Structure 1
Amino acid sequence: MAATTILQRLLLLALIVTSTLSAYCDAPSPAFPPPQLDSKTHASKLHKTTNRITRAVEDIINRDEFNTTHLSLEITSQFSGLLSLQHTARERSELRPGATRITDRSMYRIASMTKPFTVLALFQLQKAGKLDLDDPISLYLPELNTTGTGKGRGGLPFKDITLRALASQITGIPRDLAQQDVVNNPDEADRLGLPPLPDAGRFKGDYNLPECDQNVNYTRACNSTDLLGWVDQLSPLFAPNQKSTYSNLNFDLLGLVIAKVSDMTYEEYIEIEILREIGMNNTSFSTPPDDVAAVARGIEFYWPFEIGVQNPTGGLYSSSSEMSIWLRYVLSTFNAQATGVNWFNPTSFSGSLNSYYGMPFEIFRAKTKDVIFDTSNSTRPLTFVTKGGGLPGYTSNVVMIPEYGLGITILIAGDGKALSEILQAVTEEMVAFAEQAALDELWHRYAGVFNDPASNSTMVIAVSNHDGLHITHFISNSRDVKAAIDREDEQMVFHLMPTLLFANEEKQRGERWRIMPQKRRSSAGGKGKASVWDNFCVSDVSWIMYAGKPVNEVVFWGGGVGEGQRVGEVELTGFRKVLGRQEEEKSGEVALGLVEQF
């Protein structure tokens, strides 16, 4: 066999970012560093985008069905706010009117959006050496081992349930402190064909329901005794770490652990060590004053109701402006909160091919072209890191899109049906804007012709909405590198993928990227699905080395940081050469394929 054929086969095996069974995989992600969405360069497009969002949201919330609904919507980059939109219900409560005008400082019950604060407390306490995420909860709450076997009377295997599993919704513990029990709603029980029950001994006596929360018409919040007594009689839905299922009880139990190891109440720890530290000075577990209250009409009694031991799962009050502070904090620190933890990574599968649970986020992935319906043909996956929340009269949602450094907050007091429409309108517009902003920045900062005349080496870097930043032309020492890798019967794209690392981490200089050759998925178009394994793809970012240096590493140097800067040099680590940017009037960019249709 010819030496060149052996080399070609070796390169193909090492370079193609697919499994041996897969034919075509989606474009790699991330495809670019998060764009500067709040820069002057994008100001005009941002203004048009937020105007369209404002009109769309106002069209929704002004419908008669939402006459009693308050709304706060904010969009932020990881650096600063991009849009703040507030709506005051046209018909406010007469029993408890609350704020006369909704602003970005108006307070809502944010419900399960409290859970990420509980998880952040775990990260901090692990870093302080006060707990370990992989310890069983029974180590911290030995009272759960009531039989001495690691199981309560109901059979929950607490000795096998770790703090990490609790935070990741993969314990098999049922959902609630009896809030799902329809014994409190006889009409619903009758509609379902359930048999009637005697009134006598309605609560603890006959039915073993905790005498708190809705079981006593919201006259008493549940406490730790209620919680431990309830979980002691529950049976598992699944074995720990077998399958994810949503459970508020997971976080109620974590709250007890946080209180025990911190020597503070759970509420004190969250407010002192997290909320005040990051500048959320008004967010609290205490009921806010009425003059800033977004009170849901028709369920006014629930506004001040304290939920006690359930605070770790849904007890916080906050505003859209302070949730934007939170989103900026998380977007800037999600990979630096705890050793061995990337907060945005999934921990288990959820209910569909593209849905996952995190710690405690609900994570969804979609192809860019399916989000930006009319302006993109990119198959690159986008990751939506979300957390929703709901309490009687209150609906909340945050969405983070780390590829863009983008965060969205929607807070509703009233009819929560508006959420899905509003979220759809905001997502489509903001992703389209952010994607184009990212492509514009790629074009200006990185695209161009780079060469080293002494070694007859040239690299042409282009941008398109389908392929992102990619190499269209690569000559090294008079050899066509692309031709050496690409076979005649394949259409390879040489993607460039940022690692978000730097050659000089201290000064944040020298951006490390990786070349990711890949077969074009579009080349399979019209042929139908060839195999059940077509979508089986595994990442392999590290391929062949040359004398200990990665052949596919590209380091961008020069140009500084910030708006309007362009890289001046491309270092090809494995090739041991540096290519300088060629002046555009001398480079023949169009002829070399640098300019592509977006």
Structure 2
Amino acid sequence: MANINSGMDDRFQNSHARIRSYEPTIHRGYQTMESRPLLDEKSAIMEVEGGKNKGKNWLMNTYWSAIGFSMGMLLTLYIVKTGPGPSNPLLQKRQTSGVYEGNTILASGGDLSVAAPQWRCVPPPPAFLLDDPRVMQHPAVKLALAQLELTLKADTFSNKDALSISIVHSSKGKIYEFHRGRKRLNESSSASPARVDGNSIYRIASVSKVFAVLEALVLSRQAQLKKFVPELTLESRLQDVLPEFRLPLEFKGEAADITLGQLGSHRSGLGRDMGEMVFNSTADIIWPPVPGQETFIEKYYKHNTSAQELLTTVSKNDLIWQVGETPSYSNTGFSILGLATGKYRQKLKKQTKSWASAVKDDILDPLGMDHTFAGAIPRSLRKDIVVPNSRHMVDLIVPAVHDPAGGIFSTSNDLAKFLHKLLLSRNPSLISNSQRLNWLRSIHYNTDAITSVGVPWESFRAIMPDYAAYNIYFKGGGLPGQFSQISTFPEFGYGVSVLSSVGSSDSELVAGAATTDPLGLSFTIHNTIAPAIWKAYNSIVTADYAGTYISSDGIARIAFENGFLTIKEIQLHGVNILTKADQLIWRQGGKQINIFEYGAGLIGTGFPGKFRAVPLFTCVWSGFDIVTTKSGWGLDLFVFKKVNGKMTLFYEPMRGKLVKQ
């Protein structure tokens, strides 16, 4: 597979199609194509979505994506390529009203019955319903998948790239896939007609970082089960695990503070590619690329090719940020993370293996990811490799020390297994559920109120139709010729992988040829699928739990209102339970307003059938399990179970058992 020259010009193609007026908004950054008020009338957070009547020629944002790993230049440059016009709305900056009233924290007014809906903590679906098979049978979901098929065909019709997409839901694994293009883009269609499919292999570059963090979590779990000490967690200090790690003397204190989690969230203060791309003058940066001439990308693979060389380089270079101060993309940090987990694994398992071999044993083989690997391409898999038509690095063997930062190859089928078994299933493989919950969290929120950083997630804010705000967790990667994204929306139980390979030649790219943008396509998918799944879950919750429940001496009315499963009334043995909840509050400070006059919101827990009641218009943490029965049953706990085919509500504090009519 010969290297063919590549430009690194990648474009957004956001021909988004609405399937309903309840489409969510997934925010991308300060510059977007269209805006509408979302939080209040005085501010607008910009959305990246298209209308039906805008046509296919959306304003394209050119960005240089993700040369994102230890030897890479992950640049995200958004460049406007077309001007305003009838089908190209003027690019707008994030807007504000220009009027500041001095209220840093905006709170809803005193009348709870008319509080603005955007200030309510609307709960996600109960976690125990995320794998409900009825979701995939819901008409809204079927319609969304059909609409998505048309959208993807339209959006990718005119380019030459290879593309593989998988969508996964917790109820059944892969629910949708889309493939287009040929495997051997650097050869003629007559010589190499084979098309890509779910087993076609792409270099996923910086998506490897997810596996670098996962290896640490897996080792932590294995050590815990073996009662092995010292314990390994993301809070473990790097020098405790990898004592040979050093920084210059003036940073001795900072070196001792760095944790594995800070390496995994780019908050270690280490530089991006330390000692890799070294230039004498900016004149060394040549554009357009000269055929046959090495670029910085090819040249810097010759540095830090061993663990010792990398550690020596790091020991001679200053930190660029204070430890923990801010996320600053560091491929070097992930190479160091790989060395640390490798060192710990040697002690835990008393065996010496490369990081690639360890990940194969600990992660890939147990998950059945048989087309995923790091290092040299196995002979048996060469037939499945996707080769770009532009300059590329498909056949480059990355120095093993840098595999954790970006050395992995994978397929849409294998990434679907990863998403389903690790990030979406009720009982994840390899790690505990609590580990996963902690893993899928943002660590640092950027001041744009849209993006955030996790370990190693790159998250975007999504506003759902009920005004609830969530993070969708992404990780992207790219090397010349190939780009990738995986993403997951854990609260709604689904995930997406998008892999692409450039079909244009270098000369076509230099002339401005469009290429596939996996991040833009991921947004298209989420903006189509998320509202449909949201509607499906609301339908299931309503069908299962809303209604009137009665017993010989009690009644409860439960409704689904404004995104809440709401207890409108519950009386047992002549006692109004909602009034008693108010009286508990009054005991703390005298008689106040009736918090529960309009009902109590039911928040699903991670445990089947168990809900906790909270005041409407507040967040889940203000529950009332402060008061419990002798058995530990809280005032706020309501349990639903099917008994003889009928949904039954149990409430121990009043020995209540009410059956849905």
* TM-score above 0.5, yes or no: yes
Which residue of 1 is the match for residue 535 of structure 2? 436
Contact 1:346 1:363 in 2 (8 A): yes
Which residue of 2 is the match for residue 508 of structure 1? none
Which residue of 2 is the match for residue 545 of structure 1? 627
Query: Comparing 427-436 with 350-359, which one deviates more in the overlay?
Result: 350-359
Aligned residue identity for 1:26: R
Q: Distance in 2 between matches of 1:567 and 1:575?
A: 21
Contact 2:474 2:486 in 1 (8 A): yes
Contact 1:283 1:318 in 2 (8 A): yes
1:502-528 deviation line (CA, Å, top 9, x unaligned): 5xxxxxxxx2110121238xxxxxxxx
Residue 395 of structure 1 aligns to a residue in which SS? strand
| CA 1:20–1:386: 2 relative to 1, 3 Å | closer
Q: Distance in 1 between matches of 2:365 and 2:279?
A: 39
| CA 1:313–1:575: 2 relative to 1, 3 Å | farther
Which residue of 1 is the match for residue 242 of structure 2? 141
Q: Distance in 1 between matches of 2:194 and 2:304?
A: 29
In the alignment, which of 161, 176, 182 is matched to residue 83 of structure 1? 176
In the alignment, which of 498, 520, 535 is matched to residue 604 of structure 2? 498
Shift of 1:417: 4.7
Is residue 2:366 matched to residue 1:277? yes
Q: Distance in 2 between matches of 1:447 and 1:224?
A: 60
In the alignment, which of 401, 407, 429 is matched to residue 309 of structure 1? 401
Residue 653 of structure 2 aligns to a residue in which SS? coil
TM-score of the pair, normalised by structure 1: 0.74
Is residue 2:488 matched to residue 1:400? yes
Contact 2:613 2:636 in 1 (8 A): yes
Is residue 2:611 matched to residue 1:513? yes
Shift of 1:573: 3.4
| CA 1:302–1:238: 2 relative to 1, 3 Å | same
- Mapping 1:374-385, distance limit 5 Å: 378-385=466-473
Which residue of 2 is the match for residue 118 of structure 1? 212
Residue 229 of structure 1 aligns to a residue in which SS? helix
In the alignment, which of 302, 312, 324 is matched to residue 241 of structure 1? 324
| CA 1:43–1:185: 2 relative to 1, 3 Å | farther
In the alignment, which of 232, 236, 249 is matched to residue 132 of structure 1? 232
Residue 438 of structure 2 aligns to a residue in which SS? coil
Contact 1:287 1:304 in 2 (8 A): no
Shift of 1:123: 1.6
Shift of 1:384: 1.1
Contact 1:493 1:519 in 2 (8 A): no
- The CA RMSD over aligned residues, in Å, is 3.5
Shift of 1:175: 1.6
Is residue 2:27 matched to residue 1:27? no
Residue 549 of structure 2 aligns to a residue in which SS? strand
- Mapping 1:475-494, distance limit 5 Å: 475-482=571-578, 485=582, 487=593, 492=598, 494=600
Q: Distance in 2 between matches of 1:410 and 1:355?
A: 20
In the alignment, which of 332, 335, 342 is matched to residue 438 of structure 2? 342
Contact 1:151 1:159 in 2 (8 A): no
Q: Distance in 1 between matches of 2:175 and 2:141?
A: 8
Shift of 1:427: 0.7
Q: Distance in 2 between matches of 1:554 and 1:338?
A: 23
Q: Distance in 2 between matches of 1:81 and 1:406?
A: 9
Aligned length: 498
TM-score of the pair, normalised by structure 2: 0.68
Which residue of 1 is the match for residue 333 of structure 2? 250
Is residue 2:661 matched to residue 1:579? no
Contact 1:108 1:294 in 2 (8 A): yes
Which residue of 2 is the match for residue 100 of structure 1? 194
Contact 1:410 1:419 in 2 (8 A): yes
Shift of 1:386: 1.8
Shift of 1:445: 1.6
Which residue of 2 is the match for residue 206 of structure 1? none
1:39-74 deviation line (CA, Å, top 9, x unaligned): 4871654333212111111111112xx22x111011
Q: Distance in 1 between matches of 2:531 and 2:650?
A: 32
Which residue of 1 is the match for residue 648 of structure 2? 569
Residue 144 of structure 1 aligns to a residue in which SS? coil
1:132-182 deviation line (CA, Å, top 9, x unaligned): 23332223333323xxxx645777832111122212322121222456656
Q: Distance in 1 between matches of 2:365 and 2:650?
A: 44
Q: Distance in 1 between matches of 2:447 and 2:481?
A: 26
Gaps of 5+ in 1: 1-18, 192-210, 370-377, 503-510, 521-536, 561-565, 583-598
| CA 1:217–1:544: 2 relative to 1, 3 Å | closer
Aligned residue identity for 1:313: A
| CA 1:40–1:430: 2 relative to 1, 3 Å | closer
Aligned residue identity for 2:165: L
Residue 53 of structure 1 aligns to a residue in which SS? helix
Q: Distance in 2 between matches of 1:496 and 1:559?
A: 20
Which residue of 1 is the match for residue 311 of structure 2? 228
Shift of 1:21: 7.1
Aligned residue identity for 1:545: V
Is residue 2:459 matched to residue 1:368? no
Contact 2:486 2:497 in 1 (8 A): yes
Shift of 1:121: 1.3
Which residue of 2 is the match for residue 47 of structure 1? 142
Residue 110 of structure 1 aligns to a residue in which SS? strand
- Percent identity among equivalent residues? 20
Aligned residue identity for 2:656: K
Aligned residue identity for 1:268: S
Which residue of 1 is the match for residue 417 of structure 2? 325
